[in-house]
């Protein structure tokens, strides 16, 4: 049984909508749209009201860090930027609008159908991506002090971290294509403070208007 008084809480917040054309945004430093920024603020206000946030760990990419750093400054909360929370690097496809990638469409489809075997040109392999996300999760879990962490990151990171927590085969492309994590949505996980405790996923992809009260 999880002891809520000592369990560490991890809220994984995806960044809001970006001010850019539809594209594979991995390491590209696209900014948030005004609506994306407002949606993140609404989600964080709700999260902090329900369970006060103790620490913030954010991807250093602009669409996460620009909000996370401003929120940390105004709220007085501790923040760390960690590159292991960055989205997967899509190499030469990264940040290029889809309508300019028509010549590469067959390779893009192959990547979507099997990202483990089809790496974007000069991009990060799915295995490399999984290794860095796993290293961060292990570090957070090992230093479980019963605090509430807000992790400001990306859809791919959230899906990979959930697969690692739940021991799901992240090589299966369906995990990434069929699990929806909307902009500015949050996913809540608890980890009890005892040896060999297993993470408990409380919610996935919630927003303030549909989230449970506890």
For 113-172, what is each residue's pLDDT tens digit? 999 999 999 999 999 999 999 999 999 999 878 999 999 999 999 999 999 999 999 999
pLDDT value of residue 214: 52
Look-up of token digits 């993140």:
40
For 53-69, what is each residue's pLDDT tens digit? 999 999 999 999 999 99
Question: What is 8-206's CATH number?
Answer: 3.40.50.1240
Domain ranges of the chain: 8-206
**Token pair recorded at residue 182:** 């909307």
| Angle between the N-to-C axes of helices 155-165 and 126-142, in degrees from 0 to 180, rounded to the nearest 10 | 70
Sign of CA dihedral 168, 171, 174, 179: positive
What's the burial of 207, exposed, middle or buried (CB within 10 Å: 0-12/13-18/19+)? middle
Alpha-helical (H) ranges within 51-85 are 62-75
């Amino acid at each position: 049984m999880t002891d809520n008084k000592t369990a560490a809480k991890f809220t994984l917040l995806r960044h809001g909508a970006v001010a850019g054309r539809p594209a594979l945004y991995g390491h590209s430093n696209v900014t948030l749209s005004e609506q994306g920024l407002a949606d993140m603020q609404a989600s964080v206000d709700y999260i902090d009201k329900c369970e006060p946030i103790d620490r913030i760990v954010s991807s250093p990419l602009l669409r996460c860090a620009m909000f996370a750093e401003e929120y940390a400054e105004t709220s007085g909360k501790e923040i760390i930027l960690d590159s292991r929370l960055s989205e997967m690097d899509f190499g030469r496809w990264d940040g290029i609008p889809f309508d300019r990638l028509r010549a590469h469409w067959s390779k893009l489809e192959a990547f979507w159908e099997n990202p483990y075997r089809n790496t974007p040109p000069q991009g990060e392999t799915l295995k490399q991506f999984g290794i860095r996300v796993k290293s961060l999760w292990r570090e957070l879990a090992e230093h479980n002090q019963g605090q509430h962490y807000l992790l400001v990151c990306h859809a791919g990171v959230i899906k990979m971290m959930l697969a690692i927590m739940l021991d799901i085969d992240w090589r299966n492309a369906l995990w990434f294509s069929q699990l929806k994590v909307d902009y500015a949505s949050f996913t809540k996980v608890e980890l009890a403070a005892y040896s060999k405790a297993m993470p408990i996923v409380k919610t996935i992809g919630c927003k303030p208007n549909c989230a449970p009260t506890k």
